[in-house]
Amino acid sequence: MSEAGGCYERGPLNIEERSFDIIRETLRCYALDESLVDVAVRVVHAGADFSLASLIEARNDAVASARGALSRGGVIFCDVEMLRSGISRRECERLNLKPVSYIHDEDVRCVSEREGITRAMASVDKAVGEGVRIFAFGNAPTALFRLLERVEEGAPADFVVGMPVGFVGAADSKARLAESGVPSILIRGPRGGSGLAAACVNALLRMV
């Protein structure tokens, strides 16, 4: 067997552990809050991009708030199905948590068409109506904007992962989240995505 075909790491756990070791060593050069290191490791790993570590922010005692909210169990709202599927099923079962996405629900589609709003916005309204208090956004800025509108109206939000991606509204929605007073972890600017948001949630789940 040639070197190219035989000399590479094949064990998934070894690959992950080595990756995390490399990332942690490199992140020592970054001015990161100690409470955010585990989150940064998984986000950088998910994106294979160290520059993400400089864009992560925690607001309003976010890590402690997240750990408290997640430890109580319940529902984690996800703006899209890809984010929901990326959250660790094992960790959620351990903590009696259920990640959900309503984006494809028929009642959400009907509300979206009737009110002339995005399905992402309608799905947030459904979550708020059902008493959800933990939210994660990796795709839809309009969903994050909608949640902040509902919070201004008095809806409770215990913790938010704010990482919607895009060139229209993403950076602005996260800037508004940072100023909202809601405990949150976010990525500044237009960058983000479901994979990064799921990595952040998974890091927090493992802290509980």
Active site residues: 45
**CB within 8 Å of 61: residues ≥ 6 apart:** 183
Please name the residue that has the structure tokens 């955010």.
Answer: 36
* CA dist 198 → 139, 203, 205 (Å): 11, 9, 10
Taking Cα atoms as reference points, which of 59, 109, 99, 72 lies closest to residue 197?
99
Strands 184-187 and 56-59: antiparallel
CA–CA dist 97, 14 (Å, integer): 28
